[in-house]
Structure 1
C-alpha cells in the first residue's frame, strides 16, 4: 500500500515560515500553523493559533472551518490530559453546531464528538449509532478526515463489544482510506496510532505487522514530528520482537525511554525494554527496567513473573500472575498473563491451576479468533496434555500452534513449541524425532540469543539414560566438542556451525563445566579417553 504521507513534509520548516509572519496570517494559514505547531511539539502555539483561526473563520462566515479548528483544539488538549479545557472547547463546538447556519458538515462534527464522549464514558453501545451517523454525514460532505475518525471509533467500539469481524473490518477500511490519499496528515497520525494500538491490544499481530510498517513510513516522512513518534517507534519495537529482530527492537525501545514525554508511552517503553533484556538472559537490567515501568504505573506482568521463573522462583512468579489475573486487562495482555500462568503452574506441578488458565485462554482465543491468541491457546492445551501423559493428543495441538506461530513469522514462540513437540515425541518413544525437534529449536534460539530458553532446552534435550561415562552433553555440545578435539578455534567452529562466536564460547564453557576439566586440551583428552569423539 502506498502511504500518502510517504511524500516528505518538513513541519519544522513550515512552522518557522508561518511563525515569522504570524501577525499577517489569514484564517486558513492560522489553521495550518496550529497543525504545524502541534506536529512539532509547540502545544501553546498550536492552541493559540487554532483559537484565533476559529474566530477568524467565524468572521469570514465559514462555520464548518471554525468548528474544525475547535474540534482539533479540543482533541489535542484531551490527548495531553487537559480534560477540563478539552471539555470546555467541546462545549464550544456544540454551541457552534447549534447555530441556525449549521449544516451537514457541522452536524458530522457534532455526531462524532457525541460518539467520542459516549465511548470515553464507557457507553460503547451508545457510541456505535453515533459513530455510524457521523461516518454517513462525513461521506455525504466528502470529508475524508471525519470519515476516517468516525470509522476508526466505530471499529474500536465494535471490537470491544465483541463484534470482532465487523470491527476489524472498519479498522482495515481506515488504513485503506489513508493509503488512498483520502485522509490528511492531520487525521492520519491519530488514526494510524489508534488502529495499530487497538490491533496490538487485541492480539491481531498479523494485521498489526502490516499497518505498523506503514505507520513507520508515515512517521519517517513527517520531519520534525513530535506526537506519535514515540508510540510509532514502540509499536515497531513490539512487532520487531515478535519477528526475532531483538537487537533492533531493543534499540528502538531504549530510544523511546530516552526521549518520550508521555507517561503512558514511556512506561510501555520501559516494559518492552525489560522484556527484551529478559528473553536474552540479562536479568539485572531487566529487573531495573521492570522497576521503571512499575514506577510509572505500568502493569509489569507477565514479564516480571517470567523473570522470576527463569531464576527458579516459581512461587513468587505465581503470586504475581495471580494478582494480574484479578485485574481488568485487554485481550492480548490477558492472554499473555494466562499463557504464563499455564507455564508456571505446570512447572509447579499444579495441573488443575494450569487447566483453569488454559480454559480461560481458549475462551479469549475463541472470542477474538486471531492467530496469536489461537496459537497461545493450542500451545497451552498441548503442553497440559503432554504433562498428563496424553502425547497422542498433545502432538496435533502443538503442531497447530507451531504452524500458527510460523505463519506469524514468530521464531521465538515457534522454537518454544518445537521444544514441547520434541518432548511429546520422546514420551511416544521416538527419541530420534525428539532430538530433531530439539536441534531445530536450538538453531532458532541460538540465533536469537535466547539464553534462558536455551538453558532449559539443553536440560530437556539431554538423554535421560546415560552410560557411566556420559557427562550429559547435548547434541550441539557433542558437535562442538568434536571440533574442539580437532583443534579448531571458536571462530572456525562458529563459521562451520553457523553460530556466533559468543554462542560457541558459551557451549565450550558448558562442556568444560560438565566434563569438570580446566581447559580445551583437557576436554579433548577426556573426549578421546571416554569415546565421546571419533576424530583422530
Structure 2
C-alpha cells in the first residue's frame, strides 16, 4: 500500500476516547493511549500512560512488551530534550533487559540504545557497526519498527562517515518499507524526518524532494499530529525554495516560526525565513531572521555573508565565511559556504582566494556525488574561469551547471548560471548571445522577485556600454523610481509626493519604458545597480 493511499488516522479522536475510558484500560490499551497522547502533543499524558502500561505488562508476565513500552518512553523523552528522564528510563530498560538476555526480542533494545548513544555523543565510527548489529537483532526478532530505526541510524552513520552510497541504500530500504505500509506510524515519523534531514544535509535534492512529498502526505493522514508537523513543514519550505516556490516557502517557514516550540526546529525555521527574505531583497527582515536563528544556537552562514555581499560589505562577508569554513559542517552546508566564498572572493578581486575555495568545493562535490553539489561546483568553476578569462572553459563548465540545475528543477540557480553564461558569451565576443542569456535570466529572476540578483544582472548587462536611459529620466521620475525601489505602492507614492495615483502610474510607465525593463521589480534592481536608490 503506497503511503498516499493510507487511511486517515484520527489521533485526536483516539486520544479523547482513551481519556474517557482511562480507568478501565488494560496494558495494550494503555500502550495505545500513550502513543495517541504523544501524537497529539500531550507528552505529560503520554508519559503517564506508558509508565502504567509497562507495569501492567510486567504484571502480565510480558517482558518484551514492557521493554518495548519503556523503550518508546525513553526514546520520545530524549527526542524532546528531557534527557534526565530519558536516561532514568534507559537505565530501567537495561535493568529489565538483563532478565531476558539471549532473546533477540529483548537484546535488540539495549543494542539499539548503545548505538544511538555512541552516535549522539559524536563517536560515529563506533556507532556504525553497533547499528548494523542492532538491525540484525531486530530482523531476527521480527520487529520491523526497531529494524527501521536501527537501519535509519546505520544509514545516518554511513553518510556522516562519507560512505554515501551505502548510506543512501539504507535510506531507500527504509522509505520502501514505510511507503508499502510495513512500518507503524510510531516508527515512521522519526524515520521520515531523520532520513530527509540526512538527505538535505548531503545535498541529495532528488531523493529529498520525493520523500518530502511522501512525508507531507503521511503528516496529512495523521489527524491531530503534533510531533513532526514543524519538521515536515520546514522540509517542504526548503524544497519549495529550491524549486522557486518562494511565496509558499515563506508562508510555510513563517508558520513554523509562529507555532513550533522546539529549539532546533525554530532555529532552522528562522534561518530558512531569513534566507527567503534575503534573496527577495528584504534586508531588514533577513537580518532579524538571522539574529533570531543565531540566538537559538544556529550558525547563520553562508546566508548572513551573502546578505553583507548584497550590501557591498565584502570584507565582512569574507570574514564570516572564513570563520564558518573552519568549523565542521554537513556536505551541503560546506558546499554552500565554499560556493559563497568563490563569489565573494571574485567580488573582492582576490582570485587566489576564490580559486582555493573552488578547488575545495570540487573535492566536496566529488566525495558526495550529489547533483546539487556538482551543480554548485560547476557554476563556481565557471565563474572563476570567466574572471580568469578562460572563456572556452567557462562556457563548458557553466553550460554543464545549467543542465544540472534544470535537472534539479531549480529555476533560481539556473537563472544565476545564465547570467554567468552571458558574461562568458560577451567575453567571447558574442554580445547578442550575451544579451539573450541576460534576458532569459532576467525573466526568471524578475518573476521570483530576486531583487539583489536582478541588480547584479543589470550591472553585468550594462558593463559593455553606457547605462541605457538613466540620463533620460526626469527629476520627478527619479524621485518616483527611488520610492518604487523602496517597495512603495502607487498610492503611497502619490500621498508622499502630493500627486494623483494616475500621475504616479503614468510616471511608472514612463520609467519602465525609458529603462527598457518589464516590471517594477526589474526597475528596482536597475535603481540599485546604478546608484539611483540605496541598498535595502
Shorter-normalised TM-score: what interval? 0.7 to 0.9
**Structure 1 partner of 2:519:** 504
* Residue correspondence of structure 1 range 246-285 to structure 2 within 5 A: 246-285=246-285
**Structure 1 partner of 2:490:** none
**Structure 2 partner of 1:422:** 422
**Which moved further from structure 2: 378-387 or 123-132?**
123-132
- Whether the 8 Å contact between 1:466 and 1:472 is mirrored in structure 2 is no
- Whether the 8 Å contact between 1:471 and 1:514 is mirrored in structure 2 is no
Q: Distance in 2 between matches of 1:204 and 1:279?
A: 22
**Structure 2 partner of 1:390:** 390
- Whether the 8 Å contact between 1:3 and 1:179 is mirrored in structure 2 is yes
The C-alpha deviation readout for 1:394-450, integer Å capped at 9, x for no partner, is: 111111111111110000001001100110010011111111111111111111111
2:247 matched to 1:236? no
- Whether the 8 Å contact between 1:5 and 1:185 is mirrored in structure 2 is no
* Residue correspondence of structure 1 range 475-514 to structure 2 within 5 A: 504-507=519-522
Unaligned stretches of 5+ in structure 1? 474-488, 518-536
How much does 1:108 deviate? 1.8
**Which moved further from structure 2: 454-463 or 277-286?**
454-463
- Whether the 8 Å contact between 1:463 and 1:472 is mirrored in structure 2 is no
Cα distance, 1:207–1:471 mapped onto 2, change above 3 Å = farther
Q: TM-score, normalised by structure 2?
A: 0.88
- Whether the 8 Å contact between 2:446 and 2:522 is mirrored in structure 1 is no
**Structure 1 partner of 2:126:** 126
- Whether the 8 Å contact between 1:342 and 1:353 is mirrored in structure 2 is yes
**Which moved further from structure 2: 400-409 or 78-87?**
78-87
Q: Distance in 1 between matches of 2:75 and 2:3?
A: 24
The C-alpha deviation readout for 1:440-475, integer Å capped at 9, x for no partner, is: 1111111111111111111111261349989699xx
- Whether the 8 Å contact between 1:302 and 1:337 is mirrored in structure 2 is yes
Q: Distance in 2 between matches of 1:467 and 1:292?
A: 40
2:333 matched to 1:329? no
* Residue correspondence of structure 1 range 113-512 to structure 2 within 5 A: 113-462=113-462, 464-466=464-466, 504-507=519-522
How much does 1:71 deviate? 0.5
- Whether the 8 Å contact between 1:305 and 1:321 is mirrored in structure 2 is yes
Unaligned stretches of 5+ in structure 2? 474-504
**Which moved further from structure 2: 131-140 or 427-436?**
131-140
The C-alpha deviation readout for 1:286-313, integer Å capped at 9, x for no partner, is: 1111111111111111111111111111
- Whether the 8 Å contact between 1:472 and 1:514 is mirrored in structure 2 is no
Q: Distance in 2 between matches of 1:381 and 1:149?
A: 40
Q: Distance in 1 between matches of 2:52 and 2:16?
A: 18
How much does 1:507 deviate? 4.8
Cα distance, 1:4–1:443 mapped onto 2, change above 3 Å = closer
The C-alpha deviation readout for 1:239-295, integer Å capped at 9, x for no partner, is: 000000000000000000100100111011111111111101111111111111111
SS of corresponding position for 2:519: helix
How much does 1:90 deviate? 1.3
Cα distance, 1:68–1:381 mapped onto 2, change above 3 Å = same
How much does 1:102 deviate? 5.7
How much does 1:126 deviate? 2.0
* Residue correspondence of structure 1 range 32-43 to structure 2 within 5 A: 32-43=32-43
Q: Distance in 1 between matches of 2:404 and 2:206?
A: 10
Q: Distance in 2 between matches of 1:122 and 1:360?
A: 24
SS of corresponding position for 1:98: helix
How much does 1:140 deviate? 2.5
The C-alpha deviation readout for 1:333-357, integer Å capped at 9, x for no partner, is: 1111111111001000001111111
**Structure 2 partner of 1:525:** none
Cα distance, 1:388–1:184 mapped onto 2, change above 3 Å = same
Q: Distance in 1 between matches of 2:131 and 2:524?
A: 62
